[in-house]
Amino acid sequence: MTPPETSTVWMHDGETMQVWPGRNYPLGATWSSESTNFAVYAPEAHALWVCLFDEDGTETRHRLTEQALGVWHGAIPDVSPGTRYGYRADGPWDPEAGLRFNPAKLLLDPYGKAVSGELVVDDAIFGYDPSDPETISDLDSAPYVPRSVVVYDDFQWGGDTHPRRRWRDTVIYEMHVKGMTALHDRVPEHLRGTYAGLATPAVTDYLRDLGVTAVELLPVHQFFSEPALAERGLVNYWGYNSMCFFAPHNAYSSAGDRGQQVTEFKQMVKDFHAAGLEVILDVVYNHTAEAGPRGPTLSFRGLDDRGYYQRVVPPAPEPGQDPEPVSYWDVTGCGNTVDSTHTQSLRLILDSLRYWVTEMHVDGFRFDLMSAITRTNQVVDMGSHLLTAIGQDPVLRHVKLVAEPWDASMDGYRVGQFPPPWVEWNDQFRDTVRDFWRGHSSGVRTVATRLAGSSDLYADDGRSPYASVNFVTAHDGFTLRDLVSYNDKHNEANGEDNRDGTDNNRSWNCGVEGETDDPEVIALRRRQAANLMATLCFSSGVPMLTAGDERGRTQGGNNNAYGQDNETSWIDWRPDDAWLDVYEITKTALRLRREHPALRQRHWFEGRPTIKGGIKDLVWVHPAGHEMTVDDWNDDSIRTIGMFLNGAPLRSPGPRGEQVRDRSFMIWLNSGVDDVELVLPANQWVHHGEVVLSTNPDVAVGTPVVAGATMTLQARSVLVLRQT
């Protein structure tokens, strides 16, 4: 058989070998039994090499001679899966113009499916001379940077399918791959902190028993620690410093980093699906680990700096003045902002998303700092290229899409503005609920709005209550236990003199700062934590829990533990310090939500009967037993509210259009410092009920109640009554 036309090139050791022309698609390294095709976008490079590394780390360079549509490409025979490789690109050095080519720097493949090795901080990883940033560096970075890996994976998915659970039936559990199992005594030691460990029955059974339906994994795209963080002896634990948008983070693999991480990740997803759990990825497309202009050169910067990153061009200087330098435009707080309006950057993001859905079988994405990549001409644009492309994409438009609807700028805050099918993290729910339970709310007006799905944010553009992803805590900030144990942040371990992290915690320590042996304070804290959890679970929208909150996980008051890859951040699974009462309240609330469609409705409440002659679908009740009046809503002193949910029938029909009937519920919240005498409204529809959830120590679950009777609701407590 006659081989294809070949190009002969000289390698660094003087030998010759064949590089076939190959093709410019698909991008990345594509293995076949005959050859591996390499294709990389670098339109302004003058020369480009594929650099292969053998088992001893010896580098062999192969120059690509073909370029089409800005893509350098070539096929190299006899390159096996597991081979480590990188690119070197030569071209102009003009940093101000966005041209930072430097053949001394080994570059990761933007489309690489796996990464081997770690990043070592050294002067060689920077494209410039640290003593003179305008001068190109001739130090070889290869000994200090990780390499991409040629991957061929024939994983057998069998009958695996996406659960495709409806948003109104979804309960999200935000977790860290390593932190979930690093201390888990029922996970085999060699699997702790890995994808395989996360998929063990010890984890999946726990989540199902708790009532979770979806896990949201903190970033799993390959990421690296910032050099400044590494110099302080810390690491980027959370992972919001991505570099390779197709590669599962190699440190979470128990089997190896030469492509084994891909197989292990797929098996984890398959196991989650078998347990009925969806997998949502927290993705960071808004910036990369190359940071600002003084950051390292690892991939994009060395291939097409001005294509991948947004730049600010200053106005023309006045006569006699020196021009201001062109700089990176940064609305991420991380040094750079990916330019999603650039064709190749947009293609990269979309190709990455489709890859994780079609090849890795994930069920959705939560987009970090979404406003940063929805900008046109640097202005937030809800009709942007990215939003439009995702909205019409036949693969992506049907997965779960969650926006963090802000970035690091003032104009980036866009809660309530993202178009369908997007749902959003609702920080206004978080702030309102925190303020209510710490006694800092002005009456109950805003609290009621948040409980009912935040119609002020989402109803005006045709979205449903589930457009609001409700949360009280997240990875960023206090844990639930710390929220009721600390008034102030305690971030000294981060090495920034406690300057990092927010001061706007909206927390209350219940009278003592930090841990205490005082039984009354401990009891109050646990009740407050249970109140917050119950409020979250019974509110309209999609509840999101933070891993370990239901057990009383603490970070010792650290509200910015992004660099703490240690027991500060890991979940402690020992039972001796677990807040099991909070766990039971959470589990009960999620069970009630799951069993009763009245507690997870997809339509907005209208405050009118669902059928002629019936009762209103939602009634707000004053503790004196009457429906809230205008004067009541304007009374800033009120700290108690009753929420009656009518279940007979619901406004939403069943799957065949049938009328759905459920029990009716009355939910009472009292954030005040005093006990309140409740009058249960007398009415012609609901006569008897029972207590199904209580954080009130004096009222037990199962206690019968009668319409028209009175009962005491203790200070700072929740009571849920169900019609019998």
Helical (H) or strand (E) element with 535: helix 519-538
Q: CB of 647 within 8 A of CB of 598?
A: yes
Q: CB of 443 within 8 A of CB of 637?
A: yes
Q: Return the beta strands (E) in 515-663 as ranges.
A: 542-546, 618-621, 640-645
Residues facing 64 on adjacent strands: 48
431 is catalytic: no
658 is catalytic: no
Phi, psi of 50 (to 5 degrees): -90, 130
Closest CA to 668 of 692, 687, 684: 692
Helix, coil or strand: residue 470: strand
Question: CA-based Rg of the chain, rounded to a whole angstrom?
Answer: 28
**DSSP structure string for 42-66:** -TT-SEEEEEEE-TT--EEEEEE-E
Angle (CA) 223-226-227 rounded to 5° is: 130
Q: Which of 59, 368, 617, 632 is catalytic?
A: 368
Q: Which of 404, 617, 632, 662 is catalytic?
A: 404
Closest CA to 585 of 553, 541, 540, 537: 537
Task: Give the 3-state DSSP-derived string for 618-656, with helices as H, strands as E and coil as C.
Answer: EEEECCCCCECCHHHHCCCCCCEEEEEECCCCCCCCCCC
Q: Which residue type occupies 162? A: H
Distances (CA, A) of 681 to 92, 669, 707, 708: 78, 16, 6, 5
Please list, in sequence order, all residues whose beta carbon lies within 8 angstroms of the beta carbon of residue 358, skipping any fewer than 6 positions away: 395
Q: How many CB atoms lie within 10 A of CB 56?
A: 5
Structure-block tokens of residue 346: 């947009």
Distance CA 705, CA 724 (A): 9
> What positions carry a catalytic annotation?
368, 404
